[in-house]
Amino acid sequence: MNKTILITGGAGFIGSHVVRLFVNNYPDYKIVNLDKLTYAGNLNNLKDIEDQPNYEFVKGDIVDSEFIQQLFEERQFDGVIHLAAESHVDRSISNPTEFVFTNVIGTVNLLNAAKHIWKDNFEGKRFYHISTDEVYGSLGEEGMFTEKTAYDPHSPYSASKASSDHFVRAYNDTFGVPAVISNCSNNYGSFQFPEKLIPLFIHNIKNNKPLPVYGKGENIRDWLWVVDHARAIDVIYHKGVTGETYNIGGFNEWTNIDLIRVMCRKMDEKLGRPEGESEKLITYVKDRAGHDLRYAIDATKIKNELGWEPSLQFEEGIELTIDWYLENTAWLENVTSGDYQKYYEQQYEIR
């Protein structure tokens, strides 16, 4: 093995796709997946690669600075791809402090450990922070976020990610830690915890449960297939320029309500229901506090400079995704039992 790479949060939704891609595509790299296994972490996401010789799982918390320091000293990582985070906006509204610990302090702990083991020899080293377009705030009807858009986070989640992005840049500028950052739009695909819109609604439609739509469903998001995000992470990790930021998106904007209607129509077909049946489940609920109206990503820089673009059209991606959740019922049932049920019942106030 010629390099050892730490991937944090590899048991989560996006992280598991990144771990899979790196383990399969780079047999010469040793991939160490560090994850605390919170409610969002699930080792069943990685069953297909867990026995590969270049893969290792380590259970641990990035907030524990001593543990992180020791792990870096023992393993002498060449690179870090940092995805571990508290990632759900609604949970950040009910418990903001947890987001400061994991997303801010956890990131600073990783930066300190990398700075410590790499000392001033940064040749061949890389610290890559995976971030979100939500740091840029909200758009009106026009315009797109570019890498130069000023940060304007509104939720505790986006504030914590903005803060961690700033620390990563500060460690690059102040100490020379060779960092790159990418800010990506909403991801969809297999292995996503069903508190997020697409898996939640597939699950609810299938089980004839109400589809809780915030406000009037007019919020607009850009959606990217998670495998394309993992491909972009691969490209940026290997070809991105130190100190730079790259926006990643699907050029694929949808209002929530239009997206939900598409899903309802597809689910009617797949479940053999009369047309319009699933749409009857749409239930408008009290809007999320501070709900950003529109996010849109201008992903021109990564396309022009690094040659990445999405491989899949949305129609195809959503089809694959719905099929995956319908086929992997055991995975879905497993993660929607227990504590998740309590959380779900408290979360949505039906109007």
Instruction: List the catalytic residues.
Output: 133-134, 157
Rounded to the nearest whole angstrom, what is the least distance from the CB of residue 63 to ligand NAD in the complex? 5
Binding segment (CB under 6 A) for ligand NAD, from list 85-93, 112-120, 166-174, 273-281:
85-93
**Binding to ligand NAD by residue 130, rule CB under 6 A?**
yes
Q: Are 179 and 168 in contact (CB under 8 A)?
A: yes
Rounded to the nearest whole angstrom, what is the least distance from the CB of residue 133 to ligand NAD in the complex? 7
**Binding to ligand NAD by residue 187, rule CB under 6 A?**
yes
Rounded to the nearest whole angstrom, what is the least distance from the CB of residue 269 to ligand NAD in the complex? 26
Taking the C-alpha atoms of residue 261 and residue 267, their distance in angstroms, rounded to an integer, is: 10
Taking the C-alpha atoms of residue 349 and residue 210, their distance in angstroms, rounded to an integer, is: 12
Taking the C-alpha atoms of residue 196 and residue 202, their distance in angstroms, rounded to an integer, is: 10
Burial class (CB in 10 A: 0-12, 13-18, 19+), 289: exposed
Q: Are 146 and 100 in contact (CB under 8 A)?
A: no
**Binding to ligand NAD by residue 31, rule CB under 6 A?**
no
**Binding to ligand NAD by residue 214, rule CB under 6 A?**
no
Cα–Cα nearest to 93, from 289, 350, 284: 289
Token pair of 70 as six digits: 């020791």
Rounded to the nearest whole angstrom, what is the least distance from the CB of residue 59 to ligand NAD in the complex? 9
Contact with ligand NAD (CB under 6 A): which of 23, 62, 80, 180? 62
Residues in contact with ligand NAD, total (CB under 6 A)?
A: 31
- Please identify, using beta-carbon distances, which residue of 193 and 308 lies nearer to ligand NAD: 193
**Binding to ligand NAD by residue 292, rule CB under 6 A?**
no
Taking the C-alpha atoms of residue 160 and residue 285, their distance in angstroms, rounded to an integer, is: 26
Which uninterrupted H or E stretch holds 32?
strand 29-35
Binding segment (CB under 6 A) for ligand NAD, from list 31-39, 294-302, 308-316, 331-339:
31-39
**Binding to ligand NAD by residue 168, rule CB under 6 A?**
no
Taking the C-alpha atoms of residue 115 and residue 92, their distance in angstroms, rounded to an integer, is: 29
Q: Are 130 and 182 in contact (CB under 8 A)?
A: yes
Contact with ligand NAD (CB under 6 A): which of 33, 87, 92, 158? 87
Token pair of 19 as six digits: 């771990």
Taking the C-alpha atoms of residue 281 and residue 267, their distance in angstroms, rounded to an integer, is: 12
**Binding to ligand NAD by residue 15, rule CB under 6 A?**
yes
Bridge partners (DSSP) of residue 248 are: 184
**Binding to ligand NAD by residue 63, rule CB under 6 A?**
yes
**Binding to ligand NAD by residue 296, rule CB under 6 A?**
no
Rounded to the nearest whole angstrom, what is the least distance from the CB of residue 252 to ligand NAD in the complex? 13
**Binding to ligand NAD by residue 20, rule CB under 6 A?**
no
**Binding to ligand NAD by residue 71, rule CB under 6 A?**
no
**Binding to ligand NAD by residue 184, rule CB under 6 A?**
yes
Query: Cα-flanking dihedrals φ and ψ of residue 71, to 5°?
Result: -60, -45
**Binding to ligand NAD by residue 221, rule CB under 6 A?**
no
Neighbours of 38 (CB within 10 A): 18
**Binding to ligand NAD by residue 106, rule CB under 6 A?**
yes
Taking the C-alpha atoms of residue 144 and residue 299, their distance in angstroms, rounded to an integer, is: 9
First to last CA, the chain: 57
Contact with ligand NAD (CB under 6 A): which of 4, 21, 24, 37? 37
* Residue whose beta carbon is closest to ligand NAD: 12
Taking the C-alpha atoms of residue 243 and residue 307, their distance in angstroms, rounded to an integer, is: 19
Contact with ligand NAD (CB under 6 A): which of 11, 117, 263, 264? 11
Which uninterrupted H or E stretch holds 318?
helix 314-327
- Please identify, using beta-carbon distances, which residue of 251 and 284 lies nearer to ligand NAD: 251
- Interacting residue ranges for ligand NAD, rule: CB under 6 A: 8-9, 11-15, 35-38, 40-41, 61-63, 83-87, 102, 106, 130-132, 161, 184, 186-187, 193
